[in-house]
A and B are shown apart, each in its own frame.
Chain A
Amino acid sequence: MSFDFEVKVFEVEPWLIDKRGRKKAISGTFDKLKFVGQFGENAMSDMQDQADFIEVERYELYESAGYHFQFNRRQFMRTFGAGIVLILPLRRLLAQQGQGARQGESGRGGGGERLPQDVGAWIHLDEDGRLNVFTGKVEIGQNIRTSLAQAIAEELHVPLSMIRMTMADTDLTPFDMGTFGSLTTPAMAPQLRRAAAAARELLIDLAAQQLNVEPGSVRIVDARFVNHDKSKTLSFADVAKGKKLVKMIPEKIATTPAKDWTIAGTSVAKVDGRDFVTGKHQYTTDLKLPGMLTGKVVRPSAFDARLVSADTKAAEAMPGVTVVHDGDFIGVAAPDQQTAASAVKAIAVDWKAPGQPSNADLFDLLRKPVEGGGPGEGRGCGGGSRPVGSITDGLAAADQKLEQSYTVAYIAHAPLEPRAAVAQWKDDKLTVWTGTQRPFGVRNELAEAFHLKEEQVRVIVPDTGSGYGGKHTGECAVEAARLAKAAGKPVKLVWTREEEFTWGYHRPAGVIDIKSGVKKDGTITAWEFHNYNSGASGIQHKYNIPNQSIPFHSSKSPLRQGSYRGLAATANHFARESHIDELAHAVEMDPLEFRLLNLKDERMRGVLDAAAKAFGWDKTPALDHGFGISCGFEKNSYVATCVEVAADWLFPKGSEKESGKEAAKIAAKQNKAAADTSKGASASAAGSKDTATFAVKDDLRIKIIRVVQAFDCGAVVNPLHLKNQIEGAITQALGGAMFEAIQFANGQILNPKFSLYRVPRFSDTPPIEVVLVERKDILSAGAGETPIVGLAPAVANAIFNAAHVRLRSLPLISR
C-alpha cells in the first residue's frame, strides 16, 4: 500500500453553525464566544448572511487546522524528560484524514487547504522503558485506546502492556482535527503503525550499537532486544537510559499486512477495563481540584431570548458566591451545588423571546427553499452528486413509476455523561478538562472567547462518557472558564440532563422525496432523490441505475443541529432502502432478489448474502410475522440488516379491516407459509416475552423479534470490540427508528428529560446476531457509525411484510 498521493485543495464551501440566540445574546468581553469552529476572515464575510444555517456534516473540519507546534528538541525533552522521542511528520497524516473525509465519507467536506505542516504523532520511550504514544484522538467508548495500542504493539513487536496511550491533551499530544467520521481506524491507526514500525527499526539500531553487533542480527523478543543467539540482550530501559534523542520518522517504512497480524486482529479486552468496573476512572464530572467551586448558568426562557433585566443582588450577597453577568450570560460560582442552585434561584431575570415554530410546522419549513440557495445547495463536496443520464428518459423507460416522501425527526444524542468542564486559570494560562470530541477545536473556542493565544489554553479530555457526534463543541468549557475567571478559583460545571437536551444540538430532522421508475423485470431505470436539511452523508448508493439525480437542499432549521453518529446516513438509508422495498413489491419481486438484481458491487452483495444466510431469509415468517432487509454503504464500510417483527392487530377477527385486499394478501402469505412449513422451514422466534411492543398505528403493535446484521469494514482490528460497536449501533438505531423524537414549540424543547424522551432500554432490545465479513486484503475502515444505518429501513420493511402497512416517517411509532 502506497501512502503517496496528491494533496489537493478540496471543493470547499464554508459553513456556519447556527448560533441562534447565542451570538446576539452574548456581548461584552464574552461576545467573541463561539460555539463552533473559527473561520477565516473571508469565509466569515462571505457567509455573514448565512449565519443562521448550519451544514451539519461539514463544519467539523472547518476548525482552524492552522496549529503549528513549535517543537524543538529542547522543548520535547522539557516536556517528556530524557529518553528517545520519535516524531511522525504531520503532512501525510492530515492529508490522509482529508482523503478519508473525501473518499470514505460522503457528507463531510475536507479542510485540506489548511494543512498544518508539523507533527502528526509521537512516541516517547522513557528511561524506565515505557513506550508512551501520543495522539490527539479521544476515547469516548469506541475503544480506540485499545485498538490503537494493539496496532502499535504489533509493529513494535512488544506486549500490549508496554504501550501507554496519552490521548487528547492539547499540551502533550499533536494537533488533531477531532474524533469523528470513523477516521481513527483508517487514518490514525496506519500512521501510528508507521511511527511504531520506524521506532522499532531505530531502537534496534541503537540497541545494536550498544551491544556492538550488526543491526540485522537484533530482534525484539519478550520485550528485550536480543542478538542472533540471544547471548546478548538489552531491555528497552537500557536503550533509553541517558539518551536525549529526538528523531524524525522516515517517509518510507513498511508496516505489517493484516494477514500477518498477531496482536491486532485479536479480541483484546478493553485496556483499562478494570478502572471502569471499579468506578475508579475519573470522567470530567468526577474531577476535583483544590478550592474548586461549583458553577451554574441561568438559562434563557427560550432560544433567541434576550435579557431584558436581571437583578443579581440577592445572589451576590450569598457567602462565597460569585455572580457573572456579562451581556446575556448570567451564571454563578458557589462553594457547593446547593448554594449554586440557591444563588441561581435568587436571581430575578426577565427574558424576551420571539415567537418560534413547533413540530407541527417542521416539515413544511424544511421544504421551503432557502433564498439564494443555502449552503450545499444542489451539490457540494460530498453532497448530492451531478445528475447522471436523464430522469425524464428513465421514467419514460419504466413500466412502473413511484413517488414517495419520507421524514425523520430531530433526535438527541443524550450521552449518559452530560457536557461537563473543569476550568482553572493560573497566571495567564487557562486549563480546561472537558469531554469533547474536538479538544483542539475547543481550545480555539476558548482562545477566541477570552482573547488568548492558543498556547495559553490547554484542553485535556479524560476518557469520556460517550458523544455519538454530540460533543463537538465547547459551550460548557467556555462557560466554566468564564465563571472560573471571575471567581479566581477553579470551577466545575456539569450540565443537567435538561440543559444537555436543550442547549446542546440535535441530529437534523429532514424530508426526503424520491421519484423512481422500474421495469417489469426489476431493473431500476430512474432515481431522483431530494434530501432537505438532514444532510448528504450516505446519499450516494451502490445501485446501478442509468438515470440519477440526487441533490441535497439546505433549509432553515428551527433548532440548533449538528453532527450525529452516522450523520444523515440513517435518514438517507431509511428513505432509500424503504423505497427500494416499495419498488420490489411494485414488480412483485423478493426484496433481496430485487436488490441483488440491481447491484454489481461485490462487497455489498457479500454482506447481503451473509446477512440473508445467517438470518434464514429463504424461510417464510410465521403468519403474523414479517421479514425485512436493507443494505448500505458509508465511510468505506458495508452493512446489510435483516429483521423479523411480529405484528399484532388490535381489531377483532373478521372485522372490516381484515376483509378485502388485506385478507387476500394474508391468505396468500398463509398459503406460502403452509407450503414452506411442509418443506420443514420455519423461522425461529427467539424474542423475550418482556420485549417491548411498539404501537406503530392506533390498531397495530409491533414487536422486534430478532436482528441479524452483516458488516464488512475490511481487516478487523479487534473482533470483540467491533461486535460490541455493531450491537451498540443497532441498539441506538432502534431508538431513532422506533420512538426517539425531540418535541419543540416556541423556542423550547418540550421533552428534555429521560422521563419524557424515551431511549432504548433492555426491554426494547431484541436478540442481535452480528456476522463479520472480514476482508484482510482491504484496509480497515472505521466502524463506529455505519452499523447504525441498516436497522430503521429493515424494520419498516419487515412491518410491511408482516402487516402490509408502509411507514415512511421516523420514528415509526405513531403519535
Chain B
Amino acid sequence: MSKITALNVNGKKLKLDVDSTTSLLAVLRNELDLTGSKYGCGEGECGACTVLIDGLPTKSCIMPVGRIATRQITTIEGLEKDGRLHPVQEAFLKADAMQCAYCTSGMIMASVGLLAKNPKPNRDEIVKGMNGNVCRCGTYQRIITAIESVGKA
C-alpha cells in the first residue's frame, strides 16, 4: 500500500504519513485536526464533508487521499482571512442559514465552489448546484437566500 507523506491544505504543505487509500475526510479530521469538515454518511450522499479541491466542491469522505495528494485543498478552516470572514460565511450568518449547523461547513464550501463557477446563480442554478448537500434541519430556503445575496453583492 503506498503512502502519502504531504498534503497542500489551506495554502500550507502539511506533512503526514497515511495510506493512500485513506479518505481525505479521515485524514483532515484525524491526522490534521481539521474537524470543521464533518462525517455524515460516508458515501458522498450528504455533503457534510465537502471541501474544495483546486476550487471544485468535493465530497472528502469518498475521496482517497492518494488521488489528490498534489492538489490544493481548501477546508472551512481556510476561508477566514486575517480574522475576516469570507463573504459566504457572512451571508450565512446574515440569512440565519443554519440551525444545528452540522451541515454548515459543507454547505459553505459547496456555495463557495458554486459561486466561483457561477458568480450570479439564479434559484434553479443554486438548487442544482447544492443538491448534493443535505440540511436535515431544513434551512434550504435560507441557504438559497444567503447564496443569492453573495451573488448580488
Q: Does A690 contact B (CB under 8 A)?
A: yes
For residue B16, CB closer than 8 A to chain A, the reply is no
B127 contacts which chain A residues (CB < 8 A)? 688, 690-691, 762-763
Beta-carbon contact of A466 and B137 below 8 Å: yes
Q: Is A727 an interface residue (CB 8 A)?
A: yes
Among A61-69, A368-376, A753-761, the one that faces the other chain is: A753-761
**How distant is A311 from chain B, measured CB to nearest CB, in Å?**
26
Shortest CB–CB separation between residue A339 and chain B, in angstroms? 11
A269 & B93 in contact (Cβ 8 Å cutoff): yes
A728 touching B30, Cβ below 8 Å: no
State how many angstroms separate the Cβ of B17 from the closest Cβ of chain A: 12
Answer whether residue B66 sits at the interface, using C-beta atoms and an 8 A cutoff: no
Residues of A within 8 A of B48 (CB): 416
| Contacting residues, chain A, for B108 (C-beta < 8 A) | 277
* A142:B102 contact, CB within 8 angstroms: no
A729-771, CB under 8 A of B: which get 1 and which 0?
A: 1111010000000000000000001110001111101011000
The answer to whether B102 and A279 have CB atoms under 8 Å apart is no
A769's nearest neighbour on chain B, judged by CB, is B141
**Would A727 and B139 count as touching, CB distance under 8 A?**
yes
Say whether B40 contacts A416, CB under 8 Å: yes
With A276-B104, A497-B42, A724-B96 known as contacts, the answer to whether A729 contacts B77 (CB < 8 A) is: no
Chain B residues 116 to 147 lying within 8 A of chain A, measured CB to CB, are 123-124, 126-128, 130-131, 133-144
Contact at B100–A282, with CB atoms within 8 Å? Answer: no
Contact of B99 among A283, A466, A768 (CB under 8 A): A466
A278–B89 CB distance below 8 A: yes
CA distance A731 to B134 in the complex (A): 11
Knowing A724-B142, A732-B137, A765-B141 are in contact, say whether A688-B123 is a contact too (CB < 8 A): yes
Say yes or no: A269-B96 contact (C-beta < 8 A), given A417-B38, A762-B131: yes
**Main secondary structure on A side of the interface with B:** loop
Contact (Cβ within 8 A) A724 B36: no
Cβ–Cβ < 8 Å partners of B98 in chain A: 141, 270, 273, 276-277
Given contacts A337-B30, A690-B127, contact A270 B96 (CB under 8 A): yes
* Chain A residues with CB under 8 A of B135: 416
Q: Quick check: B30 and A690 within 8 Å, CB to CB? A: no
Contact of A140 with B126 in the complex, beta carbons under 8 Å = no
Contact present for A141 and B101 (CB under 8 Å): yes
**B residues near A691, Cβ cutoff 8 Å:** 127
Nearest Cβ on chain A to B42's Cβ, whole angstroms? 6
B68 to chain A, nearest CB (A): 18
Q: How far does the alpha carbon of A311 sit from the alpha carbon of B134 in the complex, in Å?
A: 40
Whether a CB of chain B sits under 8 angstroms from the CB of A288 is yes
Contact across chains for B138 and A731 when beta carbons are under 8 A apart: yes
- Specify which of A418, A468, A762 is in contact with B126 (CB 8 Å cutoff): A762
Asked if B76 lies at the interface with its beta carbon under 8 angstroms from chain A, I say yes
CB distance from A30 to the nearest CB of B (A): 27
Q: Which residues of A contact B123 (CB under 8 A)?
A: 688
A279 with B36: CB separation less than 8 A: yes
Q: State whether the Cβ of B54 lies closer than 8 Å to any Cβ in chain A.
A: no
Contact A690 B124, CB 8 Å, known A285-B39, A286-B35, A336-B30: yes
Chain B nearest CB: distance from A506 CB in Å? 15
Contact status B35-A497, CB under 8 Å = no
- Give which listed residue, A141, A273, A279, A731, contacts B100 with CB less than 8 A: A141
CB pair B99–A724 under 8 Å, yes or no, is yes
CA distance A468 to B99 in the complex (A): 12
Is A278 in contact with B46, judged by CB distance below 8 angstroms?
A: no
* Cross-chain contact B138 with A730 (CB below 8 angstroms): yes
Nearest Cβ distance between residue B20 and chain A, in whole angstroms? 12
Contacts A140-B100, A690-B124 hold; do A755 and B43 have CB atoms under 8 A apart? yes
> What is the number of contacts between chain A and chain B, taking CB atoms within 8 Å?
169
For residue A281, which residues in chain B have a CB less than 8 angstroms away from its CB?
A: 101
Alpha-carbon separation in the docked complex, A811 to B42 (Å): 26
Q: Cβ of B73 < 8 Å from any Cβ of A?
A: no
Please state if B40 and A759 are interface contacts (CB–CB under 8 Å). Answer: no
Give CA–CA (A270, B138) in the complex, Å: 16
Q: Least Cβ distance of B82 to chain A in Å?
A: 13
Chain B residues with Cβ below 8 Å from A730 are: 138
Assembled-state Cα–Cα distance A326/B76 (Å): 41
Tell me whether A416 and B138 are in contact (CB under 8 A). Answer: no
Residue pair A279, B77 in contact (C-beta under 8 Å): yes
Q: How far is the CA of A282 from the CA of B101 in the complex (A)?
A: 11
Q: Does A616 contact B (CB under 8 A)?
A: no
Q: CB-CB < 8 A to A414: which residues of B?
A: 136
Q: Which residues of B contact A720 (CB under 8 A)?
A: 96
A78 is an interface residue with CB less than 8 A from chain B: no
- Nearest CB in chain B to that of A767: its residue: B141
Whether a CB of chain A sits under 8 angstroms from the CB of B75 is yes
**B136 touches which of A279, A280, A416, A763 (Cβ 8 Å):** A416
List chain B residues, Cβ under 8 A from A689.
124
Interface residue? A415 (CB, 8 A): yes
Chain A residue with Cβ nearest B108: A277
Kindly state the separation between the CA atoms of A416 and B34 in the bound complex, as whole angstroms: 18
Contact indicator B126/A494 (Cβ below 8 Å)? no
A573 shortest CB reach to chain B, Å: 18
Among B43, B85, B102, B138, point to the contact of A274 (Cβ < 8 A): B85
CB distance from A687 to the nearest CB of B (A): 10
Q: How far is the CB of B145 from chain A (nearest CB, A)?
A: 11
Shortest Cβ distance from B48 into A: residue: A416
Measured in the bound complex, the distance between the Cα atoms of B29 and A466 in whole Å is: 20
Please determine whether A288 and B33 come into contact, CB atoms closer than 8 angstroms. Answer: yes
Q: Is the CB of B126 within 8 A of A273?
A: no
The answer to whether A416 touches B141 (Cβ under 8 A) is: no
State whether B102 touches A729 (Cβ < 8 A): no
A464 within 8 A of B: yes
Partner of B22, one of A278, A338, A497, A728: A338
Chain B contacts for A494, CB-based, 8 A: 39
B46 touches A416 (CB 8 A): yes
Cα A337 to Cα B25 with chains together (Å): 12
Chain A, residues 265-303, CB within 8 Å of chain B (1/0): the string is 000011001101111111101101000000000000000
| Residue A357 interfacial (CB < 8 Å) | no
- CB contact under 8 A between A466 and B131, given known A278-B89, A282-B35: no
Contact with B along A224-266 (1 / 0, CB 8 A): 0000000000000000000000000000000000000000000
Q: Is A416 a contact partner of B100 (Cβ separation < 8 A)?
A: yes
A724 and B143 CA atoms in complex are apart in Å by 11
Give the chain B neighbours of A286 by CB distance below 8 A. Answer: 29, 35
Would you give the shortest CB distance from B56 to chain A, in whole angstroms?
Answer: 19
**Which has the most chain B C-beta neighbours within 10 Å: A278, A463, A753, A767?**
A278
Q: Are A762 and B144 in contact (CB under 8 A)?
A: yes
Given A274-B85, A288-B33, A759-B136, check contact A279 B76 (CB 8 Å). yes
Whether, in the assembled complex, B37 has its beta carbon less than 8 Å from a beta carbon of chain A, the answer is: yes
Q: Is A143 an interface residue (CB 8 A)?
A: yes
Chain B 31-79 residues near chain A, CB threshold 8 A: 33-43, 45-46, 48, 75-77, 79
Given the known inter-chain contacts A724-B142, A729-B138, A732-B136, please indicate yes or no for A416 contacting B45, CB distance below 8 A.
Answer: no
Q: How far is it, in angstroms, between the C-alpha of A87 and the C-alpha of B142 when the chains are bound? A: 39
Q: Which residues of A contact B150 (CB under 8 A)?
A: none
Q: How far is the CA of A2 from the CA of B140 in the complex (A)?
A: 41
In the complex, whether A21 has a CB less than 8 A from a CB of chain B is no
Interface members, chain A 336-387 (any B CB < 8 Å):
336-338
| Sample of 24 A–B contacts (CB below 8 Å) | A141-B98, A141-B101, A269-B93, A276-B101, A277-B89, A277-B104, A278-B36, A278-B85, A281-B101, A336-B30, A415-B102, A416-B46, A416-B103, A464-B100, A465-B101, A466-B99, A466-B100, A466-B137, A690-B127, A690-B128, A730-B138, A731-B140, A731-B141, A761-B133
> Known contacts A270-B98, A283-B38, A727-B139; can you find 7 more A-B pairs with CB under 8 A?
A140-B100, A269-B93, A269-B96, A277-B89, A416-B103, A724-B99, A753-B41
Those 9 A-B pairs whose CB atoms lie nearest each other, nearest first? A279-B36, A731-B138, A141-B100, A465-B102, A141-B99, A279-B76, A276-B101, A754-B45, A728-B138
**Which residues of chain B have a CB within 8 Å of any CB of chain A?**
19, 22, 26, 29-30, 33-43, 45-46, 48, 75-77, 79-80, 85, 89, 92-93, 96, 98-105, 108, 123-124, 126-128, 130-131, 133-144
